[in-house]
Amino acid sequence: MSSKEEASSMRLNRFLARCGLGSRRHVEELILKGRVSVNNSICRELATLVNPSKDIVTVDGKFLRLPALVYYKFYKPRGIVCSMSDPHANETLATILKRENIPQGVVPAGRLDKESEGLLILTNDGELLHKLMHPSYGFKKVYRVLLDRRPSEKLLSLLRKGVVVEGYRMKPVKITRMGPQPKDEENPEGYWLEVVLIEGRKREIRYMMREAGFKVLRLVRIAHGPVNVGTLKPGEIRVLEEGELTSLLSQVRNTNEKRPVKGGAAR
């Protein structure tokens, strides 16, 4: 293989992830199970290099073509199930993406529960999805949380130290007071906090606040890594601006140059 051909080649697992077949772990399982063929020969070698413009790659006999990479940000409204398939939901993220003519293979980097709202980064870039979703790469998620009452300093100290739920200590990176809820908004009472997570689990903020004796009236994700929700309104979706994408990909490159931090799965 010439140096020019090598420069245009990529590892098979990366190619499969770019084609939207899932996380790196998932596509590696496909390879190891013998479900992937390269130029009509089953390939079980993870380090195999393929040239997308020349090699024929199939999974279960289906030919794969490398799609153009696309990047969006979306303000998920409350009441929408953040799923690509749910027969019990009235409306899912998948139905919204279809209605907005978003290309197939575009999925969210993580989820928000049905009653939560705010920023989701959407893309078909499998490598980016993996790094945004895995907490070991240190991408921070910033939330605004409306509680049913003002927390005392004692309770804030408890939250900062972390509370134990089902044997797991849930601890934010940072909690900051934002202030009381303005009287003319949808929820006339309450108090806002800003919570930053890297490490986390499904519905972590809700469980953490419940254990501390609070009721969550509203939960909004306002940032994921360097991307902010900005002026997006609930239900709006748009392509990432050049500056946003540059900042995001730059942070991804930086994660390649330093050892990942430890952490659990974040939601």
User: pLDDT (tens digit, 9 = 90+) per residue, 105-145?
Assistant: 889 998 999 999 999 999 988 788 888 988 888 899 999 99
Measured distance CA(72)–CA(238) in Å, rounded: 5
The answer to whether position 262 is within a domain reads no
Residues 149 and 105 in one domain: no
Range of the domain at 169: 141-224
Instruction: Give the chain's residues under pLDDT 70.
Output: 1-7, 85-89, 184-187, 200, 256-267
Residues 216 and 90 in one domain: no
What are the two backbone dihedrals, phi and then psi, of residue 82, each rounded to the nearest 5 degrees? -85, 70
Residues 129 and 241 in one domain: yes
The answer to whether position 263 is within a domain reads no
Give the chain's domain count: 3
Residues 220 and 236 in one domain: no
The answer to whether position 266 is within a domain reads no
Instruction: Supply 58's token pair.
Output: 């199939």
Residues 217 and 150 in one domain: yes
- CATH number of the domain residue 32 falls in: 3.10.290.10
Q: Which among 203, 176, 206 has a CA at the least distance from the CA of 191? A: 176
The answer to whether position 219 is within a domain reads yes
The model's pTM: 0.77
Print burial letters for 36-58: b (CB count within 10 Å at least 16), e (below 16): bbbeeeebeeeebbbeeeeeebe
Residues 59 and 95 in one domain: no
Report, as residue numbers or ranges, the catalytic residues. Answer: 113
Residues 6+ apart with CB under 8 A from 59: 16, 21, 30, 35, 36, 37
Residues 83 and 187 in one domain: no
